[in-house]
Amino acid sequence: MVGHKWVCNPSCVCGLPSIPLTPDVRQDGFIAEARGMSHAIDVGQIAYCVTGALTSSPGLPSQVSNASAESKSKQPRFKLEKYDGSTSLDTYLWKFHQLADYLQWDERDKFYNLCASLDGPADQVPRELSTDKTTGRLEDLLQTRFGTAKQAVSFQAKLHARCRMENETLQELHRDISRLVQLAHSNETSSFLVHIGVTSFIAALNDSDLEFEVLKLEPKTLPDAASRAVHLESLAESVRARSHAAADKTGGLVQRQRSILAITDDDKDEDKNADLQQ
């Protein structure tokens, strides 16, 4: 490319194109330009790619290489997860801003990284932005679409109607009830969340006998209720298995007795016929 020279390390494992550098660009300008690409790549790849570009470029000031090494040492050993709208938006945005503060992202970095982290239904939200392409505006749209505050009533209805499905394990039911409780009552106190979690889980068991037995044990928390339900269900299944085995054994014995009686009756009939013929 005319007016640019390619300075990215050819052995860089990130697989991205080299970063163009204008010959007269200032040191801090180059760092900003390199960092500006962060919206297109993984957080874990940013450090290596930018570091490779800085350290492999001949003729760059030593301060740039030092800044590169320092940047690499400060990179976290985790990456930003994807958000598809199925989990708590508030929790996700909190993690996002924690990472942004740690990496010292500016507004441009935040906006493009947040866009890149959206997946599934949430991936359509940035396309609704026309001119106001800012992190704040993007977060507002996400809150409108997926925010718990605006969808609390919907999540409360789902929690109220939740019942254990066929072949669903109690552990799976426990996890989903926990998720719905957080989404439906995000602004409530912890004691209320504990109470609504326990009652919602027991009501969702879809088994009146199991519900009654769990209630008798008076579980204090949602994990406690789930643990007791698993234990009770395991005991019930064990009893049923023994009952079936005993029934099969009894049934086999009765069948053998009937077979013996049938043979005996046949012998008697033969003896009777023989007497009549004589």
Residue 70 binned pLDDT confidence (cut-offs 50, 70, 90): low
What mean pLDDT is reported for the chain? 74
Give the H/E segment covering residue 6: strand 5-6
- Give the other-Cβ count within 10 Å of 114's Cβ: 24
HSE at residue 36, side-chain half, CA atoms within 13 A, is 10
List pLDDT tens digits, range 196-209.
999 999 999 999 99
pTM of the model: 0.49
Two tokens, residue 202: 């027991």
List pLDDT tens digits, range 25-34.
334 333 334 4
Instruction: Give me the residue spans of the domains in the chain.
Output: 1-78, 80-146, 149-246
Do 68 and 125 meet the contact criterion of CB atoms below 8 Å apart?
no
pLDDT of 230 higher than 90: yes
Token pair 């290596």 is found at 48
Residues 6+ apart with CB under 8 A from 38: 46, 105, 109, 112, 113
Residue 85 binned pLDDT confidence (cut-offs 50, 70, 90): confident
How would DSSP label each residue in 79-145? -PPPB-SSS-HHHHHHHHHHHHHHHT--HHHHHHHHHHHB-GGGGGGGGG-SS---HHHHHHHHHHH
List pLDDT tens digits, range 171-198.
999 999 998 998 888 778 999 999 999 9
Start-to-end Cα distance in the chain: 122
